[in-house]
Every structure is written in C-alpha cells, then in structure tokens.
C-alpha cells in the first residue's frame, strides 16, 4: 500500500524497565535502524519512563536521528512552579524529546485528566515545539452501547478542535480503545479502520480535506507482531502506539519491519 502520510511505530514503555534495560533497548533500536534502509516517512518513537527519558534521548545515534525520536509519557501545562512531581514540556524539550503523549487513557482514568486540562497540555506542548501524540478511545461499555464514535468525537472536539489548522496539522492522533489496552483483546482491523475513517471525517469537517489527509492516526491496543500487518494495512491506520510489545527489541523491531513491508520498503 502506498501511504503518503507519515507512518509511525511508537512505543509507550509506561512504568516499565530499569535503567540498564532502557538503554539496552534504545541501543537495539538504534542498531536496527542503522542496519536497515528506513524511509524518512517512517518515524520510530519511544516513550520511556521519566527517569530514563533524558538518557534514552541522549543515546539516540546521530545517524538514526532522522528516523528515531523520543517522547515523554506526560507533561504539565506550566513552564515551572510549585507542581511537585510534574514535568514541564520545556524540560522534555531540553533533554531532547520531540514528542509527548497526551491524554492516555491511564492518565484520564487514574489522574482524572479532563478534556479542558488536556487541551491546555496540547497547547503548551505545541508552544514549546513538542509534537503531541493525542490519545483517544472508548471504554467497553461505550463500545457496547454503540456510542463509541460520538465519545471519541467529544474527546477530539473538547481537547483538539480549538487549534488553528496549522497547529492541528502538527498533532498525531492515537486511537486506543480502552478495552483493548493491555488486555490481549485487539480491535479487529475493520473496527480500527471504521473508527479511523470516522476520525478523519471529523477532521475533514473541522479543517478540510487536506488537513484530514495529512494527519497520522495510530492504532493502539494489544498491537503485536501477530496482528500488526492486518491493522497497519488498513487505509486510515498510519501505524501503532504500542505498549507491551514495545518492551522487547525483538517484537518492537518486528513491528517496524512489518510497517516497512506495508509501506513497500522491504
Ligand atoms: C498503550 O498503553 O498505549 C497500549 C496500546 O498498550 P498495549 O499495547 O499493551 O495494549
């Protein structure tokens, strides 16, 4: 399939790995990228846990930099101040991050992050030059009630659709059905495609066709080598946000390989 949009294989390491493992995994990914001819249109991103994000970002090899980026898993809305335990987006930039996850379902659930707070985070991340990877997705009861598209539409409208067209085009969207995250239950390729197409349609209504066609929409939720090809081959799926399968070099690099295959680059 000839996909023109930026394709992305992104790993969300969550609260996993120790320092040695994080550095080893970063280097294994460096090695894989260095050993293969990876098209510039494909980006590989890792989001290590906070104590290791600086060393992982500093460990990206010079020759892999155009392909390989590092992101934070979260950021605050302020640049500095009395926010114990929080991280300013400027700090992520300062240590070499290019990306930041915003609105992951675990942040929404355990830290009660509201639509409005996420909108502020998106603004701030963009202000300092980070690319937000904005996560959206519905819980199982919402899917079962058949209101999943309306639910995701609200998440996008409330936290993203205030952006100018220019800023919106810098955002990456990750559709992550909550019932598929860490459960081993993946959305079928048809379910993923149908939601991604619905998201693109909403973007088109808000910003026009060119913007809708330019924004990368990733799928996340138990994506692994065994199911990635069928997901990545969907016309509106531009890669994956990967949790569990991003923690081992073997499975994560396999996902990069599968993506390259889908892009016709193997
Ligand atoms: C995630 O946390 O973003 C995720 C998709 O996790 P997993 O791949 O483990 O379901």
pTM exceeding 0.95: yes
- What is the pLDDT confidence band of residue 4, given thresholds at 50, 70 and 90? confident
Residue 260 within any structural domain of the chain: no
Say if residue 126's pLDDT is above 60: yes
Going from the Cα of 208 to the center of ligand 1, the distance in angstroms, rounded, reads: 30
Say if residue 238's pLDDT is above 60: yes
Going from the Cα of 69 to the center of ligand 1, the distance in angstroms, rounded, reads: 18
Residue spans of alpha helices (H) in the chain: 19-35, 50-58, 89-94, 105-110, 115-127, 140-145, 148-159, 165-168, 189-207, 209-214, 225-232, 249-262
The first and second tokens of residue 124, run together, are 């701030």
Mean pLDDT computed over 115-143: 97
Residue 253 within any structural domain of the chain: no
Atom of ligand 1 nearest to the CA of 14: 2
Strand partners, 9: 44, 240
Going from the Cα of 132 to the center of ligand 1, the distance in angstroms, rounded, reads: 17
Atom of ligand 1 nearest to the CA of 220: 5
Residue 215 within any structural domain of the chain: yes
Say if residue 19's pLDDT is above 80: yes
Mean pLDDT computed over 190-212: 98
Per-residue pLDDT reduced to its tens digit, 57-110: 999 999 999 999 999 999 999 999 999 999 999 999 999 999 999 999 999 999
Residue 57's domain comprises 7-248
Mean pLDDT computed over 120-125: 98
The pairs formed by 113-118 with CB atoms below 8 angstroms and a separation of 24 or more are 115/154, 115/155, 115/158, 115/159, 116/158, 116/159, 117/77, 118/158, 118/159
State the pLDDT at residue 209.
96
- What is the pLDDT confidence band of residue 182, given thresholds at 50, 70 and 90? confident
Per-residue pLDDT reduced to its tens digit, 202-231: 999 999 999 999 999 999 999 999 999 999
State the pLDDT at residue 109.
95
More confident call, 13 vs 184: 13
Residue 219 within any structural domain of the chain: yes
Question: What CATH number is attached to the domain comprising 80?
Answer: 3.20.20.70
The mean predicted confidence, pLDDT, of the chain is 96
- Distance (Å, whole) CA 42 – CA 82: 39
176: annotated active-site residue: yes
Strand partners, 47: 12
Say if residue 21's pLDDT is above 70: yes
Say if residue 7's pLDDT is above 80: yes
Of 182, 184, 225, 254, the one to substitute when testing ligand 1's pocket (max ligand atoms within 8 A of C-beta) is 182
Residue 256 within any structural domain of the chain: no
Residue 263 within any structural domain of the chain: no
Per-residue pLDDT reduced to its tens digit, 59-70: 999 999 999 999
Pocket of ligand 1 (CB under 6 A): 12, 176, 181-182, 220-223, 241-245
Q: What are phi and psi of 116, to 5 degrees?
A: -65, -40
90: annotated active-site residue: no
Please give the tally of structural domains in the chain.
1
Of 99, 228, 242, 245, the one to substitute when testing ligand 1's pocket (max ligand atoms within 8 A of C-beta) is 242
Q: Please name the residue whose Cα sits nearest to atom 7 of ligand 1.
A: 243
């Amino acid at each position: 399939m000839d996909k023109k949009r930026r394709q992305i294989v992104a790993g969300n390491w969550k609260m996993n790995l120790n320092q040695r493992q994080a550095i080893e995994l970063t280097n294994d990914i460096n090695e894989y990228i260095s050993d293969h001819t990876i098209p510039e249109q494909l980006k590989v991103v890792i989001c290590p846990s906070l104590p290791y994000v600086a060393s992982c970002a500093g460990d990206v090899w010079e020759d892999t930099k155009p392909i390989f980026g590092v992101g934070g898993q979260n950021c605050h809305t302020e640049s500095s101040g009395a926010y114990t335990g929080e991280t300013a987006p400027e700090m992520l930039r300062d240590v070499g991050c290019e990306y930041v996850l915003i609105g992951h379902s675990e942040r929404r659930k355990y830290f009660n992050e509201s639509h409005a707070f996420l909108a502020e985070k998106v603004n701030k991340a963009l202000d300092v030059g980070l690319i937000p990877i904005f996560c959206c997705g519905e819980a199982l009861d919402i899917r079962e009630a058949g209101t999943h598209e309306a639910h995701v539409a609200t998440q996008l409208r409330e936290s993203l659709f205030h952006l100018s067209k220019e800023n919106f085009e810098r955002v990456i969207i990750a559709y992550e059905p909550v019932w598929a995250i860490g459960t081993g239950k993946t959305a079928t390729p048809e379910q993923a495609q149908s939601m991604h197409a619905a998201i693109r349609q909403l973007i088109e209504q808000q910003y026009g066709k060119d913007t809708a066609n330019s924004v990368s929409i990733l799928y996340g939720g138990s994506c692994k080598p065994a199911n990635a090809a069928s997901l990545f081959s969907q016309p509106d799926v531009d890669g994956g946000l990967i949790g569990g399968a991003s923690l081992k070099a073997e499975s994560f690099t396999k996902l990069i390989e599968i993506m390259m295959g889908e892009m016709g680059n193997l």
